[in-house]
């Protein structure tokens, strides 16, 4: 495959600016790579003609000196972002044939800045899952394999297609979303960088809703700098989303490479969970040592309500999902199954259109919101959520950012956890807290385990302080020197 797909986003943009190659050439190389990698199942819809049209238009803009910040860069789009005239399914049967009449704000921003769309990427159905196995279109296979093994591994979820596509050089970067960890855990499982920004930084408009008070869009990229470049374009105030923050978007790339000397980095003792593999503890210790060396002060902190985060998340998220997904009734969007009367049409449509995990969430959500249980579950979970946010507020009086592992394990085998929802939910133990508190969190690859699989470290920042997160991530990226790639077998 052409060397053009091996470039980072920054490298490709520099090459385009230097006229080393055209966007059409760069895009063509990616289209070929995507076609050759169908076995990974990362893309569920390829849009090569549209990509080449966009690339040709980009080359024309560049020739006229009108290139935008991402001009000519081919990207993948998680199939949760509505794309005008291009099928958007949320990887569900109920939206199998849904073609939006509008474009999400985040993707519009990317096209405004000149990016090229290669196609739509696989995900867990309605972004519910941690392994991409709940997708109606089948799971994605992680490009990474353990040493001396052919076993198919999960790329994580829900943004499994985005992470696998970036890791396998099937795009220069991808959009993703994170409700409880869906950008960061897949990034950790695939040796890529992913950031969930502060809640409200990126518009949710045109993104298929899962749990609206937790959902945030963000990029998955090959490097910290690439993630900053993508977030620059994706972020920004949007009057069409009432929770979008009316704040300026700084140039996040300016923070990458900035000195972290004197920063206070918190290490939360409650994140040393039982049963965490020694290799992950070691990676975390390495991260601490790298940051110390770079001049940071390491502070042990306490986030005492951490153990209640997962239970609270698995009440709040399904509650909101049950309400959001009520709109799929066979009347306005997507699938309609026939029935003798209206109630039967609803029942038949939802029974056949939703997958098992989605049904489980709707049932849990409806239960915790129902009269008599609302106070005991939903209201209680909201109170826990408040306590978790306060834990972080207290931490910010002592530290500037927090360092944790991203996930409690490396990528696991496809099918390994799919029969045990609780085991699957435990994947999010280190990531859900930031969604509950609305904080930015970034995962970057920092090492390999004994089986040669990538492991991620997470940096959590203060609200709207993605800048510091990027600086700390840049320092770790430099110290870790992580350059490993999955051996190409697909």
Q: List active site positions.
A: 78, 158, 182
- Residue 456 interacting with ligand GLN (CB under 6 A): no
Which of 260, 317, 325, 402 is in the footprint of ligand GLN by CB under 6 A?
A: 317
**What residues between 37 and 66 interact with ligand GLN by CB under 6 A?**
none
Among 144-152, 174-182, 243-251, 460-468, the segment contacting ligand GLN (CB under 6 A): 174-182
- Residue 5 interacting with ligand GLN (CB under 6 A): no
Q: What are phi and psi of 109, to 5 degrees?
A: -60, -40
- Residue 428 interacting with ligand GLN (CB under 6 A): yes
d(C-alpha 26, C-alpha 32), whole Å: 10
Can you tell me which residue has the tokens 């949710």? Answer: 204
* Greatest Cα pair distance in the chain: 70
In whole angstroms, the minimum distance from the beta carbon of 108 to ligand GLN comes to 22
**What residues between 93 and 152 interact with ligand GLN by CB under 6 A?**
127-130
- Residue 181 interacting with ligand GLN (CB under 6 A): yes
Interaction mask 219-248, ligand GLN, x per CB under 6 A:
------------------------------
- The H-or-E segment that residue 219 falls in is strand 216-221
User: Considering beta carbons, is residue 23 or 92 the nearer one to ligand GLN?
Assistant: 92
- Residue 438 interacting with ligand GLN (CB under 6 A): no
- Residue 409 interacting with ligand GLN (CB under 6 A): no
In whole angstroms, the minimum distance from the beta carbon of 405 to ligand GLN comes to 16
In whole angstroms, the minimum distance from the beta carbon of 177 to ligand GLN comes to 6
Among 263, 372, 261, 361, CA closest to 318: 361
- Residue 90 interacting with ligand GLN (CB under 6 A): no
Confirm if 405 and 187 have CB atoms less than 8 A apart: no
**CA distance readout (Å), 62 to 10, 19, 66, 234, 288:** 16, 9, 5, 21, 44
User: Considering beta carbons, is residue 107 or 130 the nearer one to ligand GLN?
Assistant: 130
Buried (b) or exposed (e) across 184-213, using 16+ Cβ within 10 A? bbbbbbbbbbbbbbbbbbbbbbbbbbbbbb
**Is the bond leading into 158 cis (omega within 30 degrees of zero)?**
yes
Residue 337 tokens read as 């199954």
d(C-alpha 357, C-alpha 430), whole Å: 22
Other beta carbons within 10 angstroms of residue 419's beta carbon come to 8
In whole angstroms, the minimum distance from the beta carbon of 158 to ligand GLN comes to 4
Among 178, 63, 168, 49, CA closest to 114: 63
Which of 105, 154, 182, 433 is in the footprint of ligand GLN by CB under 6 A?
A: 182
- The H-or-E segment that residue 27 falls in is helix 23-36
**What residues between 150 and 169 interact with ligand GLN by CB under 6 A?**
158
| Site residues (vs ligand GLN, CB under 6 A) | 127-130, 158, 178-182, 210, 317, 428
């Amino acid at each position: 495959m052409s060397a053009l797909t091996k470039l980072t986003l920054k490298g490709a943009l520099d090459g385009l600016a230097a006229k080393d190659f055209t966007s059409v050439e760069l895009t063509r190389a990616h289209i070929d790579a995507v076609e050759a990698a169908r076995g990974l199942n990362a893309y569920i819809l390829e849009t090569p003609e549209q990509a080449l049209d966009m690339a040709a238009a980009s080359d024309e803009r560049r020739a006229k000196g009108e290139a935008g910040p991402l001009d000519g860069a081919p990207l993948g789009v998680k199939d949760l972002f509505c794309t005008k005239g291009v099928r958007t399914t949320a990887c569900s049967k109920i939206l199998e044939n849904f073609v939006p009449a509008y474009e999400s704000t985040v993707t519009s921003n990317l096209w405004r800045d000149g990016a090229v769309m290669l196609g739509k990427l696989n995900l867990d159905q309605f972004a519910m899952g941690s392994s991409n196995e709940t997708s109606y279109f089948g799971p994605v296979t992680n490009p990474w394999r353990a040493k001396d093994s052919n076993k198919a591994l999960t790329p994580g979820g829900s943004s499994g297609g985005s992470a696998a596509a970036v890791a396998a050089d099937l795009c220069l970067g991808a959009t993703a979303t994170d409700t409880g960890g869906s950008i960061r855990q897949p990034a950790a499982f695939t040796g890529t960088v992913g950031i969930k920004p502060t809640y409200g930084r990126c518009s949710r408009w045109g993104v298929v809703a899962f749990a609206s008070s937790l959902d945030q869009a963000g990029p998955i990229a090959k490097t910290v700098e690439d993630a900053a470049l993508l977030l620059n374009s994706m972020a920004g105030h949007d009057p069409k989303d009432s929770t979008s923050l009316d704040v300026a978007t700084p140039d996040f790339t300016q923070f990458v490479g900035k000195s972290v000397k004197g920063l206070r980095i918190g290490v939360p003792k409650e994140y040393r969970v039982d049963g965490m593999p020694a290799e992950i503890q070691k990676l975390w210790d390495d991260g601490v040592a790298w940051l110390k060396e770079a001049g940071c002060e390491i502070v042990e902190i306490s986030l005492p309500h951490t153990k209640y985060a997962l239970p609270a998340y698995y009440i709040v998220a399904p509650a909101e999902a049950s309400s959001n997904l009520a709109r799929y009734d066979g009347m306005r969007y997507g699938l309609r199954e026939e029935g003798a009367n209206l109630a039967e049409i609803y029942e038949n449509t939802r029974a056949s259109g939703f997958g098992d995990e989605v049904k489980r969430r709707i049932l849990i959500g409806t239960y915790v919101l129902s009269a008599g249980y609302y106070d005991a579950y939903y209201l209680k979970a909201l109170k826990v959520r408040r306590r978790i946010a306060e834990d972080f507020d207290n931490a910010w009086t002592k530290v500037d950012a927090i360092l944790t592992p991203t996930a409690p394990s490396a990528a696991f085998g496809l099918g390994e956890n799919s029969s045990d929802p609780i085991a699957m939910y435990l994947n999010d133990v280190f990531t859900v807290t930031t969604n509950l508190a609305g904080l930015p969190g970034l995962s970057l690859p920092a090492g390999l385990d004994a089986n040669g699989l990538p492991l991620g470290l997470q940096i959590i920042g203060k609200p709207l302080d993605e800048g510091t997160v990027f600086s700390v991530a840049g320092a770790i990226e430099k110290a870790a020197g992580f350059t490993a790639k999955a051996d190409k077998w697909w």
